[in-house]
Amino acid sequence: MKRLILICLTAVSVALSSCATQTNDLPPCCRPVTTKTKYTDKSVFQLDSVWTSDAGRKVNLGVLRGRPQVVAMFFASCQFTCPITVSDMKNIEAALPKNLRTNVGFTLISFDSKRDTPAALKAYRAKRELSSESWTLLHGEPDDVRELAALFGLIYKQDSNGDFAHSNLITVLNAEGEIVFQQPGINLPPDEIVETLKRLTASKS
């Protein structure tokens, strides 16, 4: 009888381990809301806000944990600086050595809670050809967006047309969600961020 119980417990343990592995293998856009995890005092992953990915999944920022992230806040209908910021991020991705590209994530978080629905973000992903393996696009509620923007030190304001005036900022997080580098501006060379990412991935390995 004891042997039977031991076998059953072992089987349950293996099944749970298998489920956890499968969840971790999913790209961040498709992982479910995670249970509470301990983060460092400086980690933005501490926020308990719930976001919706363009895949329609409810996620915490903690799903990004495990690899450095290049993060920008934007809105999909922006016709001016946002497309340039996304292009700058794609240039950073292209400038990374091939063996490091899968070890770095790229995240876009929308200011526009009303118009940038998960479906709109999904269309934006397709339009800009952003891979689901490396890129995460998130929609959030207005209060959660404001809270995250404040942590990044990013300023934005909605105008009467529903568009946004905002500062332009690319933020690099380490694998634990701590801000390690920020680059203000647009149309800048990727070199400094690439070197930062190389250091972060080297220290991880």
Q: Do 48 and 85 meet the contact criterion of CB atoms below 8 Å apart?
A: no
Q: Longest Cα pair distance anywhere in the chain, in angstroms? A: 72
Task: Report how many domains make up the chain.
Answer: 1
The answer to whether 183 and 173 have CB atoms below 8 angstroms apart is: no
Cα distance between residue 126 and residue 129, in whole Å: 5
pLDDT averaged per 10 residues in sequence order, the chain, 205 residues: 43 42 52 67 96 97 97 96 98 96 97 97 98 97 97 94 93 98 97 97 73
Nearest Cα to 104, choosing from 96, 114, 112? Answer: 96
CB 27 within 8 A of CB 132: yes
Q: Is residue 1 part of a domain?
A: no
Strand order in the sheet with 135-139: 58-59, 51-53, 135-139, 105-110, 69-74, 169-173, 179-184
97 is a domain residue: yes
- 14 domain residue, yes or no: no
Query: From CA 55, how far away is CA 121, in angstroms rounded?
Result: 9
Provide the CA 188 distance to its chain's centre, in angstroms: 21
* pTM, two decimal places: 0.83
What's the rounded Cα separation, in Å, for the pair 48 and 45?
Answer: 8
CA–CA separation, 31 and 11 (whole Å): 24
Q: Is residue 155 part of a domain?
A: yes
Question: Is residue 173, in this structure, part of any structural domain at all?
Answer: yes
pLDDT at 15: 42
Is 6 inside any structural domain? Answer: no
CATH number at residue 88: 3.40.30.10
pLDDT at 26: 55
Owning domain of residue 37: 28-204
- 119: in domain: yes
Report yes or no on 104 lying in a domain.
yes
